[in-house]
Structure formats: C-alpha cells, structure tokens
Structure 1
Amino acid sequence: MSHPHPELGAPPKLPRNGLRVVALGGLGEVGRNMAVLEHRGKLLVIDCGVLFPEEHQPGVDVILPDFTFIRDRLQDIVGIVLTHGHEDHIGAVPYLLRERGDIPVYGSRLTLGLLTAKLKEHRIKPVTNQVKEGDRRSVGPFDCEFIAVNHSIPDGLAVAVRTAAGLVLHTGDFKMDQFPLDDRLTDLRAFARLGDEGVDLFMVDSTNAEVPGFTTAERDLTPAIQTVFRTAPGRVVVSSFASHVHRIQQVIDAAYEHKRKVAFVGRSMVRNMGIASELGYLKVPRGLVVDAKELDNLPANKVTLVCTGSQGEPMAALSRMANRDHQIRIGEGDTVLLASSLIPGNENAVSRVINGLTRWGAKVVHQGNAKVHVSGHASAGELVYCYNLIKPRNVMPVHGEWRHLRANADLAISTGMDPARVPVVDDGVVVDLVDGKATVTGKVRAGYVYVSGGTVGDVTEELLRDRVTLSQQGTVTVVAIVDTQTGSLAEPPDFVARGLGTDEAMFEGAIPAIEKVLSGAAKDGIGDPAELEQRIGKAVSQWAARKHRRNPLVIPVVIEA
C-alpha cells in the first residue's frame, strides 16, 4: 500500500502495452497538481498548477512542478487537459508553454477563459480546445471523455482516459453536492457507466478523505451570509479566492437583497469576476457592481467590498487593509467576512490578518465562528460511495498531503480493494499500469522549482535557508586581513552584526577560533582566500552556537595582507 521508495532508481523502459503515470506535483502537498500519462511514446498532461509558499520560503512568489522529466520530450506532449480553473491546477501552464508554446490545451469554457487571461499577461497565445461534459476527444493515443463534477468553482470536469493499456478515471477536484448553486451535479451515472466498462486505474481527490460523512451543500451557507448582511451596521468586506465564483454569487445575491452596492478590489478579483460575468457564470443585476472609487459617496451601510487575501497573503488586499497599507481604511462598524477555507500552513498568516482587522475595530466573521464556508472536496462518505459504485481494479490517491493520501487509500481498502493495488506514492514516483495491474517501477526528479520576482529556478533550498537564518538569527560579517603565507592575522578582524540585538564586541571572543583555523590552513598549505573564508565562517558559526546559542548567518571576507 505505502511506497516511500528511497531506494528507487530510474524506471525501466515502458512496455508497448503499458501506461505510465508520473505525478510531478500534488502528492504529499495541497497544490502544484500535475500528472503525466505516457503511452506508446506520447505524453498527456493532466493539470499543471502552482503551490503557494509558506513562511519558511521567504521571497518566493509561487512554486512550480519540476519539468525535468518531460523537458527532453516536449515534442511528445500531445495535450494538456485541465480539470478546472483553480490556480493549483492551471497556474503553472504559462511556464510550461514558455518551453513549448503550441501544446494543445483542453478545458471547459470558464477554465479556458481564466487561463487565457492569465496567459495574456505572459504574452502567450495558447492553442485551446474547449470541451464540455459528454465530449470525447482523441488526443494522440489517448481517448479522453469529459464528465461533469461539482467543486467550489463552476465548470469542473473529471476525465476518463482510454488507452490500449486500460481505462484511467481522474476525478480532478470534486464533491457530490446534491444542491449545487448552478444545478450542475457530479455525473454519477457516467461514473457508474465507466465502472461497468471497467476502470483500470482510479485517480481520486484525497483532500477531504479524513473528514467523515458527506460535504455540506453550498446552499447551506446562505443563512450565515444573509445574517452578516442583515446585521452589519457599516461596510461589509468579503474576502475570498479570486476564482470562487459560487461564493461570490452568494455575496452578490445577498448584497442585492439588502440594497448594497458591490465593488471588486484587487487585480485578480476584478479580472476573474469580469470573465465569469462575461461568460455567464456570474449573474450580476444591472447597476449593482460599481467602481471602488464611487463607494466614497455612499453611506457605509450601502457598501460591499469583495477582495482577495483570505489566506493572509502579504500583498493581497485584505492583508494590506489589516496593516493600514491600503487606500481602504478598516474601522469601527465594518464587518469582514472571510469566505474561504483555511489552507494548511496558512494558519499564522490568517491569524495575524484577523488580529489586525480586529485592532482597527472591525468584526471578523470566519470559518471558526460562523458557518460561512464549505469545502469543495468530497468527504469520506462520498469517496466510499464512488469506490462501491465504480469498483476500480487499481486506485491511486492524488491531491493531498500524506495523511490525506493514506486516509483515502484506507477508504478504498475498506471497500474490498487489495492493498497491493492501492499505491500511495510521492511526487516523482512512477506507477506503471501493465496487464491490468498498477505497480511502482521507479522514480524521477520532481523537486520544487521556485519563482521569485522575474526569475524561475534561481532560488535554491540553500538560498532559502540563508533567508530564513537572516530573518530569525541575524547576520555577522567577519572582515579579516590575513597573511596567507603564514596564516596569521595582520590585525584583529572586524565584526559587523545585524539583527542580533547584541554588542558586536561579543564576537571578539571568536578571534582565537579564527586564528586556530588559519594556522591549520597554513600548515596544510592552503592560502586560497575562498577556502579560508569557508573555514572562518564555519569556525565563527560553531563558536556562536557554543558560546551564545545563536546561529547567525556568517559572511566571512578575507583580504590578503
């Protein structure tokens, strides 16, 4: 069942009648979803998303899948299939299309609308193929059938991929809401039909596998949202994902009922809601939405603001409001509604935003104190229902952290699945479907690729560790004038400390340690300044840890006497 596989090497050549599945993201993490299917020399990519950085990754904008596995085979890619329009499923597409711009992209109308707007910012004109539920497309040796699923964004699709090696059903992100706001149900009849045909590999969303029962219906949130609008004495500020069209529709309906004008704040929110409205996925009464500048002329109890920042992102509108770094000033009488679930790892950032908003006098309504959000993912009861309905021959849990993947695997096994046919694997682990059985056969590179500013891949793990050390432990620069022939100091070294909160004179105690390593280097015949800097840096670091229990970033500079 479980396959950490540290011993795995490169996978063998794939048999002609086999299908290879390699997840380059989305396994062991919530985000960066990307699966590559290989059959008869061709590659099909399902989703290509980003992961958002955590606090221990300062200066990183987003994290991409590692394309190394497919980089030498870009011409073999016959298509990119997108299950829905969330960033963790489409956000890395621009970076893949930078490497080969004519890869055909398949997706629903809203998904392609959101993607095309994103690609325009990257100055990429994609080759798009719009599909809808019930459609079938031949994409190289892959026969793709698209199936309606509901999620927290409209137009979600599962994809059934038929090959000579067998049938793969990939759910994408999905749930089984029986009362969806857009009346678009997950097509369980199609799932059952595919089950009768024979699903050889079922790739299943694991995000909510630990949650018992069934996910709450979106419509059940309406009373809590209505309460906010009915009781708020001043402005209502709603923060949500910029792609959460269903939630924004509920907010718009409530604002219209309570005679409030609505303004969208934040570039991505304005862009995405404009696309959703233009394509007919967001129903906006005429005259309801106005420019944010017009709100100054309205009474506070007639104003609704919809913005980004529900995850505490530093540069998002809500975080800037909390920090008093935004033109919109939060104050007494304002009610802030956080209408999104909390992504694991963002707890501290969100808590800081809530505290900041509360400090300025706002009432903050969030998932912890009101029923204002439901998940977009199937809970355990829904997953078990699907296993019993489809009866797949093999199951590969996807989309989730390790605890989610394991919980999903346990659910599959509880319905009678053979544990040997339920591989739980990391990013980069190769699963081959041959003669109806899925087995682990190797591993490929699938590390993090960091985007920082305008650069892709220049930020390394070592650089991130240095950034974290700088932020937590400070830095000390050691300038030493050295006679490289004798290994002696020409004069006492200078120490320049930052972020340590101590007297720089404290480092004078490190001078004997520096003299010792210089003497040792001279005896070894080492006079290269770069090598001496490395030794000095290590000596000062060890001395600071031993004497002061501090681990500053040490920057040694050697000047030859």
Structure 2
Amino acid sequence: MRITPLGGLGEIGRNMTVFEHNGKLLIVDCGVLFPEENQPGIDVILPDFSAIRSRLADVVGIVLTHGHEDHIGGVPYLLKERADIPVIASKLTLALITAKLEEHRIKPRTRQVKEGDRIDAGPFDLEFLAVNHSIPDGLAVAIRTAAGLVLHTGDFKMDQFPLDGRKTDLPGFARLGDEGVDLFLVDSTNADVPGFTIPEDDLAPAIDQVFRTAPRRIVVSSFASHVHRIQQILDAAERHGRKVAFVGRSMVRNMGIAADLGYLRIPDGLVVDMKVLEKLPATDIVLICTGSQGEPMAALSRMANKEHVIDIGPGDTILLASSLIPGNENAIYRIINAFTRWGANVVHKGNAKVHVSGHASAGELAYCYNILRPTAVLPVHGEWRHLTANAAIAVRTGIDEEQVFVVEDGVSIDLVAGKARVSGRVAADLVLVDGGTTGVATEDALTERRVLAEEGSITVLAIIQPDTGKLTEPLEFFSRGFVAEPGWEQAASKPIEEALAVVASKPAKDRDDVEEVITRTLARWLTRRHRRNPVITTIAVEE
C-alpha cells in the first residue's frame, strides 16, 4: 500500500492523504488552506490533484474524518472533476459537506458511517472509531489491506469530560494496538504543547463570568463549526435571560444543521431574528457571529470597522471564543484594537479561559503511542515544528527513529508486508483559488500584486517617429500609488530621452525596442533616485 500526503504537512490546512492498493485509490480528507497576507486576492488554497487527475476513475471513495474546512473545503473542487466519487463520513460531517456542495450545484453520492462501523471500499477494509474534537462526530479510520494496518486519527484529543459525552475510543485504539498497527498517521497540531489539553467544560466559569458582568450587548465570535462552544454560549444566555441571534451565512447554516440533527440544543424562544433582537434592551442581547480569524468580509471585522448595522460602543463585550490560527495574528489583533478603541471590553484566550484546543497535547500523544505501539509513524496535520515535536515523542516512547517519517507533502511512503519506507515523490504544489479561477494564479502573479500594493505603478506614454524612434512629444507619466516629490516626471524624462537618442543613432536593423528601453531606463532611475521598484508599463505610439 502506498500512502501519499498531498496536503497538511508543514502547514495547518489543506489536509489530504491518498492511499493506493491493488490499483485503487482511497482519499482521506480533502481540505483547504486559508491564504496569508502575502497572498493578496486569493480565496483559498487547495491540495494539488495533478498526481491523481489521470486516475480519478480508480478512486473508490473520499473518507472525511470531520467537518472542518481544512478537511472538507476542497471536496467541491475534487468532485467537479469527478462528481460520483462516494463521500464516506459521519452524519454531521455529511450534512455539512452536502450543504456546501449544494452551493456548487453538486449532488454527491454519500455513505453515512458511525463509530464501530466496518465497511469495504474497493480493496480497503475500513473501520471507524470515535474521536473527540472541537466539532461533534469526529472519526478516526483504520485501513486494513493485505499490506498491513494503518490508523489515521484525523484531528483528535482525549477530553475525558466531553460536553457531548462522546470520548475518544481508547479501548478501540488498544484493540488495534494488540492487532498490530503498521503505520500510524497522527495529528501533530499540539505536539509542542506539554501535558494534556484541558477539558471543554473547564471553560464554563469564565464564560459565565462574561455573561454575569457584561453591562450591555455581548458579541461572541467563534468558528461556524464549533458546535460545542456555541452550545456553551446558548446555555449561558438562557441562564442569564438573554436572547440570541446568529449572524453570518455559514454560522446560520451550520447551526441550523446541527440543531436539526440533534447536535445542538436550542431552547424554545432563545434564538430570535436579528430584527427582533434590535428592538430589545442592550442588556438582553447576544450575537453569535463569524470572523474569529479576522476575515475582512466577516461580520466581526465589519463591526470593528463600523461597517455593520451593529454599532459597537462603550459597555459592549466582545468574546473571542476561538483559537488563533498561525498566520492570522495581525488580523485578529487589529480587530481587538479596533473594538478597544470604540470602548468595548474584549475577552479572548489571552486574558481569560474562554477557549481550549481541539487537538491532543504532548502527554496525550505519548499515551496513544504507548497504547498502540505502532511499528511506524507518519506525523500529519501541522507545521514543521509540530511534526518534529510529534516525531520526538514517538521516538521517546520506543519507536525506531528510522520508522518515524517527517516528510513533505508529495512524499510517498510504501507499506509492504508491514514494513514502511520512503518510496518517491509526486507534485504537491499550492493550487490557488482566485475568484472564479482555480490553479491559474501563479506565484509570479502574487509577486506582481505585492509589488503593486507596496510600490504602486507607473504607465509611460511615448509618442515617437516611426523612422527614427525619436520622441515627437514630451513623455507622459500616469502613476497610481507611487509617491515622489513634485516634478519627478521631468527629472525622470532626461535619462530616458538620452537613452532614446542612443537608440535613434543606430541603424534601423540594430535598434533596441523603444518600450523596453524606456521601461529599463525608468526602472534604473527610480531604484537609484527613490529606492522604489513600481510596476512600469510603457506604451509607445508611432505618430
């Protein structure tokens, strides 16, 4: 069996792993990565499907471990290439991905599973085990073939007091350990955090304190998939006599799905429409919205920028009940500063116990290694520091260092007769979604966007004689975002005119391209004079 991660290694997002056996492919998760500030204009980033594109007919299914975007967000893009790939997942995960696919006008083939189920998907024997995470219905998957037994945890932790009572199936892990796990793919996100992740119900006192002391409105921002956290907020609102409204399309959709399927308990009359909420006293209001990562178009950012119907002011309380995803720090702190400027009290993970991670810390990982005693380990889902920390834990528990694989996306691991080894590499590039295009935007395009944002642009219009290449009119400059002292255009014209005079003195067959000469000369002058490198466009028009 060949195991090839196409995303999720060295990054938090776009998780996707391909398993190949007897000519058939099984995919576990297909998520997105959210862009960073140095990727302007990009909506999301996908795994690279090029390694399997010619073999989509061999795919027997997509197993989704849980319903977070970094595990399911890429599914619509994959199903656009082959719509009838079976999607295998738990009830809530299937409901979330089906709603997402409706927006893309895709009706998927689905197969619902639950913990304890064991099914066949082509040559793959799949067994599903309950795992605890920050969204209900998470599943680990054990994959059996003639080549050996692989266990993929998905995202998990070992909360011994989960809000929904559904614990990670440690007896099931121990049973698999007794059977013999040949390769263990394990969540690395909190591998560099000592000890054990604290239970979700430890947050209740801090959340209750916010509701007890808030003098006016409470605005809560959380991931639109964090059903457990939303349940805690609803329970606190009910206790303190406040009404709740959901704000944001994904929040309204996901909470509606969770409530319909019984994963979210909403007391009668607690959740009301925004129009009803606006008529209530500020002391009776709770808003639950999207935008916990500082997304510019989300409700929370628009409130911070005074672009939302909800006008945040003194006495309002903002509760950021979510983690801080690496790369989003600046955007989140900008929101915190903006709300503080308007007089609101901002409660977040840094000053109150209002969020716990959904991922296993170092102590839990060590516990799992000792239960499972795997022969080989492939740390997944994490940046390099997380993968390396996870690998170190595996080695400390006695696993052969040569059987612990810290690798990049695209590197294949072959499992033959229970033994694992690195076997090769396939393409696993970042695939950028830019508006309606997928995979068209390139790093060169992003570089040009960054230059435009930082340096501006200059367009030069030159009117020349066709025979000689000499200027017949003074050069015209049109700048956008480029800042310089008044009269810079005249100063820049002099070296350009001198360069064009040299061109004009040459025989016609030896002359350089006029537009190229102008662009090159202006760029050199701007670098020397202003230490700037704007995007330059030259248009030469023959008179």
**TM-score, L = length of structure 2:** 0.96
Do 1:485 and 1:527's aligned partners in 2 also have CA atoms closer than 8 Å?
Answer: no
| Equivalent AA in structure 2 for residue 372 of structure 1 | V
In the alignment, does 2:442 pair up with 1:460?
yes
Partner of 1:7: none
Q: Mean alpha-carbon deviation: is it higher for 384-393 or for 169-178?
A: 384-393
Do 2:15 and 2:32's aligned partners in 1 also have CA atoms closer than 8 Å?
Answer: yes
Do 2:455 and 2:532's aligned partners in 1 also have CA atoms closer than 8 Å?
Answer: yes
Partner of 2:327: 345
Partner of 1:429: 411
Partner of 2:365: 383
Distance 2:472 2:187 in 1: 65
In the alignment, does 2:445 pair up with 1:445?
no
Partner of 1:268: 250
| Equivalent AA in structure 1 for residue 139 of structure 2 | L
Distance 2:480 2:186 in 1: 49
In the TM superposition, 1:288-299 aligns within 5 A as 288-299=270-281
Displacement of 1:510 after TM fit? 4.0
1:332 to 291, 295, 314: 314
Distance 1:528 1:39 in 2: 59
Partner of 2:182: 200
Partner of 1:253: 235
Partner of 1:96: 78
In the alignment, does 2:479 pair up with 1:497?
yes
Do 1:495 and 1:504's aligned partners in 2 also have CA atoms closer than 8 Å?
Answer: no
In the alignment, does 2:32 pair up with 1:65?
no
Partner of 1:107: 89
Distance 2:366 2:517 in 1: 58
Q: Mean alpha-carbon deviation: is it higher for 331-340 or for 418-427?
A: 418-427
Displacement of 1:473 after TM fit? 1.4
Distance 1:209 1:523 in 2: 69
Q: CA RMSD in A?
A: 1.9
Do 1:484 and 1:527's aligned partners in 2 also have CA atoms closer than 8 Å?
Answer: no
Q: Mean alpha-carbon deviation: is it higher for 136-145 or for 536-545?
A: 536-545
Distance 1:409 1:285 in 2: 45
Distance 1:373 1:362 in 2: 20
Partner of 1:316: 298
| Equivalent AA in structure 1 for residue 369 of structure 2 | Y
Distance 1:21 1:483 in 2: 64
2:166 to 148, 169, 184: 184
In the alignment, does 2:120 pair up with 1:138?
yes
Partner of 2:3: 21
1:122 to 104, 107, 117: 104
Do 2:458 and 2:477's aligned partners in 1 also have CA atoms closer than 8 Å?
Answer: yes
Q: Secondary structure at the match of 1:424?
A: coil
Distance 1:539 1:207 in 2: 50
Distance 1:480 1:219 in 2: 70
In the alignment, does 2:263 pair up with 1:281?
yes
| Equivalent AA in structure 1 for residue 128 of structure 2 | F
Q: Mean alpha-carbon deviation: is it higher for 111-120 or for 53-62?
A: 53-62
Do 2:149 and 2:418's aligned partners in 1 also have CA atoms closer than 8 Å?
Answer: no
In the alignment, does 2:521 pair up with 1:554?
no
Partner of 1:230: 212
Distance 2:267 2:508 in 1: 81
| Equivalent AA in structure 1 for residue 125 of structure 2 | D
Distance 1:487 1:405 in 2: 61
Per-residue deviation, residues 136-164 of structure 1 (Å, max 9, x unmatched)? 11001111110100000000000010111
| Equivalent AA in structure 2 for residue 107 of structure 1 | A
Q: Secondary structure at the match of 1:425?
A: coil
Q: Secondary structure at the match of 1:445?
A: coil
Distance 1:395 1:560 in 2: 67
In the alignment, does 2:416 pair up with 1:416?
no
Partner of 1:9: none
Unpaired runs of 5+ residues, structure 2, are: none
In the TM superposition, 1:64-83 aligns within 5 A as 64-83=46-65
- Residues 349 and 207 (structure 1), Cα distance of their counterparts in 2 relative to 1, 3 Å cut: same
Partner of 2:141: 159
Per-residue deviation, residues 350-382 of structure 1 (Å, max 9, x unmatched)? 111111112222111011111100000000111
Distance 1:212 1:511 in 2: 63
Partner of 1:15: none
Per-residue deviation, residues 179-218 of structure 1 (Å, max 9, x unmatched)? 0000100001111111111111111101101100000110
- Residues 507 and 100 (structure 1), Cα distance of their counterparts in 2 relative to 1, 3 Å cut: same
Q: Secondary structure at the match of 1:404?
A: helix
Distance 2:81 2:460 in 1: 43
Distance 2:208 2:459 in 1: 58
In the alignment, does 2:374 pair up with 1:392?
yes
Identical aligned residues as a percent: 67
Partner of 2:197: 215
Do 1:497 and 1:504's aligned partners in 2 also have CA atoms closer than 8 Å?
Answer: no
Partner of 2:130: 148
Partner of 1:14: none
| Equivalent AA in structure 2 for residue 228 of structure 1 | V
Per-residue deviation, residues 411-470 of structure 1 (Å, max 9, x unmatched)? 111112222211111111222222333222222111111222222222221111111111
Displacement of 1:533 after TM fit? 3.9
Partner of 2:25: 43
Do 2:146 and 2:417's aligned partners in 1 also have CA atoms closer than 8 Å?
Answer: no
Per-residue deviation, residues 246-283 of structure 1 (Å, max 9, x unmatched)? 00000000000001111000000000000000000001
Partner of 1:12: none
Do 2:503 and 2:512's aligned partners in 1 also have CA atoms closer than 8 Å?
Answer: no
Unpaired runs of 5+ residues, structure 1, are: 1-18
Per-residue deviation, residues 318-350 of structure 1 (Å, max 9, x unmatched)? 000001111111112110100000000101101
Distance 1:352 1:559 in 2: 47
1:545 to 527, 533, 543: 527
- Residues 491 and 157 (structure 1), Cα distance of their counterparts in 2 relative to 1, 3 Å cut: same
Displacement of 1:538 after TM fit? 4.1
- Residues 480 and 386 (structure 1), Cα distance of their counterparts in 2 relative to 1, 3 Å cut: same
Distance 1:516 1:208 in 2: 62
- Residues 153 and 535 (structure 1), Cα distance of their counterparts in 2 relative to 1, 3 Å cut: farther
Partner of 2:452: 470
Displacement of 1:487 after TM fit? 4.9
Displacement of 1:292 after TM fit? 1.0
- Residues 186 and 520 (structure 1), Cα distance of their counterparts in 2 relative to 1, 3 Å cut: farther
